[in-house]
Amino acid sequence: MNEKNLVAKVLFDALSGDLTLEQIEKLLEKPKSSELGDIAFPAFSLAKTRRKAPQIIAQEIVENIDTTGFEKVLATGPYINFFLDKPLVATNVINEIVEKENFYADQAIGNGTNVTIDMSSPNIAKPFSIGHLRSTVIGDSLANIYQKIGYNPVRINHLGDWGKQFGMLITAYKLWGDEKAVQAHPIDELLKLYVRINAEAETNPQLDEDARAWFRKLEDGDKEALALWKWFRDESLLEFKRIYDKLGVDFDSYNGEAFYNDKMSEILDILGAKNLLKESEGATIVDLEKYNLNPALIKKSDGATLYITRDLAAALYRKRTYDFAKSLYVVGGEQTGHFKQLKAVLTEMGYDWAKDIEHVPFGLVTRDGKKLSTRKGNIIRLEPTIDEAVERALKQINDKNPDLTNKENVAHQVGTGAIKFYDLKTDRTNGYDFNLEEMVSFEGETGPYVQYAHARIRSILRKANYQAQANLTISANDAESWEIVKLLQSFPDIIKRAADKYEPSIIAKYAISLAQAFNKYYAHVRILEENEGLQSRLALANATAIVLKESLRLLGVQAPEEM
């Protein structure tokens, strides 16, 4: 039971049914100053029903409160201020963490049901850029978070391996391509061709028509078109998998758009059987006016299918295959309208599980304030960026700890962790400007800062030859240690909130706060001083390291033992 639950329960018993437990919890506040206690309850909401001044109500309630588990409970004006029994809370929290270690804060909310997570999903034959990073790391972190609360995450990489862009690419390759050059540097050469044809198509409409013709051939199973498409796809996947290995991200499925080619006819049959299809200017649509949405364009006038047709097929396939409790789509905010249409069409088709689909949007990554674009060749390629981040981390490690063993491995953990953490600490719906120097800094609100705090604690524990002990009595009477205890106690709620809001930044910000709290404690307390409080201080440090490491793991970031 956390501190809010404890206070709410005590108040519920004292209020004799005036408010529900849930209502009480929502009213609880954190006082502006620790001198006013740890949790406060404002009595204003009871003034109307009790017909008394809030300060009188507060005083009356305090007289009925069971103060077990509290240092004291005071009425201060219209507020009831609760001062927790610090040694009792600290002892319970620290012992639980030391006993459970990485299983601390595990929850059984999901009961082993599946959550499908559509994430990363880069386009074939294009370089893996920073623009793909957000979906990849947000999706991976959400998978970790949902596993922590009892779900079974299914990571799906819905590759962009179909569509008119392949008509563009085949047209460009037929006009200007060099087989040997593509074999030597596939992604680089394919990118050059893609950028060139998009630039030239702006003044030469025939190229656009040729691209459409080649894509129709591809859809019709033309051997040459299929062979080129498969070549482009295979080469791209080799590069993507190498980058995923560097990021430490893997997938349960690589089924992309092409996988659903033979599954769309069923969708069209269902839509037709339910009389949902309408003709509009030669195209086939589903009218969504009652949802205040634009019509969903199911087939173009030339018969070509669209994203939504494939996403309908994908949604049905995933429900049948995984029977998901939730289906998350970690896709940029610009696709919000598309996912509203997807849910609306599925609802019209009679699938009540459409309500379990959630679009998890995110903001853009920019460079110098400018939007990145593969089509215009303005991208930041991810693989060389990771390599540079690792080099920067290695330089700082050499400056700080030149004798560190396994420096290269630690530098990889720090460099990749820095990029991922910087992305994840940003509120998901906000974007950010890419700044590698700031990301890899060991100072400030960064991944390396949190990793370094963890490594520092592990160093302290090694110096003390620390061995975890069960059922220790923990004193937490100084302000610095009490702040750590309160943060550690809140970890289960932090995880639940991050899951509810699909927001890994809640955990990243929590990790920063915990690292900062420990560094403040470290600056004020002589942890290794030989006296009766030594084991208590070491247990607090150990519990902090455990939770820091687990916080980082939930973000997909490793926690080196030494730095």
Tens digit of pLDDT for each residue in 135-187? 999 999 999 999 999 999 999 999 999 888 899 999 999 999 999 998 888 88
pLDDT above 70: percentage of residues in the chain: 99
Single-letter amino acid, residue 158: H
Q: How confident is the model at residue 51 (pLDDT cuts 50, 70, 90)?
A: very high
DSSP-assigned states of every residue in 417-481: HHHHHHHHHS-TTS-EE--HHHHT-SSSSSHHHHHHHHHHHHHHHHHTT----SS------SHHH
pLDDT of residue 431: 92
The per-residue pLDDT of the chain, averaged, comes to 94
Measure Cα distances from 422 to 150, 435, 450, 556 in Å.
Answer: 27, 9, 11, 12
Please report, in angstroms and rounded to a whole number, the separation of the first and last CA atoms in the chain: 36
Q: How confident is the model at residue 371 (pLDDT cuts 50, 70, 90)?
A: confident
224: Cα separation from own chain's centroid: 41
pLDDT digits (tens, 9 = 90+) for 56-111: 999 999 999 989 889 999 999 999 999 999 999 999 999 999 999 999 999 999 99
Q: What average pLDDT does the segment 258-267 reach?
A: 94
Q: How confident is the model at residue 378 (pLDDT cuts 50, 70, 90)?
A: low
Cα–Cα distance, 359 to 346 (Å, whole number): 14
pLDDT digits (tens, 9 = 90+) for 278-316: 999 899 999 999 999 999 999 888 777 788 999 999 999
Task: Give yes or no for residue 406 having a pLDDT over 90.
Answer: yes
Q: What average pLDDT does the segment 500-508 reach?
A: 98
Q: How many other CB atoms are there within 10 angstroms of residue 212's CB atom?
A: 17
Of 150, 172, 170, 154, give the one whose Cα is nearest residue 162. 170
382-554 homologous superfamily: Isoleucyl-tRNA Synthetase; Domain 1 (1.10.730.10)
**Pairing label, strands 357-360, 370-371:** unpaired
> Cβ contacts of residue 109 below 8 Å, gap of 6+?
149, 150, 151, 496, 499
pLDDT of residue 112: 98
CATH number for the domain formed by residue range(s) 3-84: 3.30.1360.70
pLDDT of residue 291: 97
Most confident by average pLDDT, 110-119, 155-164, 433-442, 462-471: 110-119
The DSSP output letter for 364 is P
pLDDT above 90: percentage of residues in the chain: 84
Measure Cα distances from 43 to 80, 170, 301, 487 in Å.
Answer: 7, 70, 64, 26
C-beta of residue 544 within 8 angstroms of C-beta of residue 484: yes
Q: Where in the chain is the domain with CATH 3.30.1360.70?
A: 3-84
> Cβ contacts of residue 488 below 8 Å, gap of 6+?
93, 94, 97, 514, 543, 544, 547
Task: Give yes or no for residue 250 having a pLDDT over 90.
Answer: yes
Cα–Cα distance, 560 to 455 (Å, whole number): 6
Pick left, alpha or beta for residue 465 (phi over 0 → left; psi -120 to 50 → alpha; otherwise beta).
left
Burial class (CB in 10 A: 0-12, 13-18, 19+), 388: middle
Q: Where in the chain is the domain with CATH 1.10.730.10?
A: 382-554
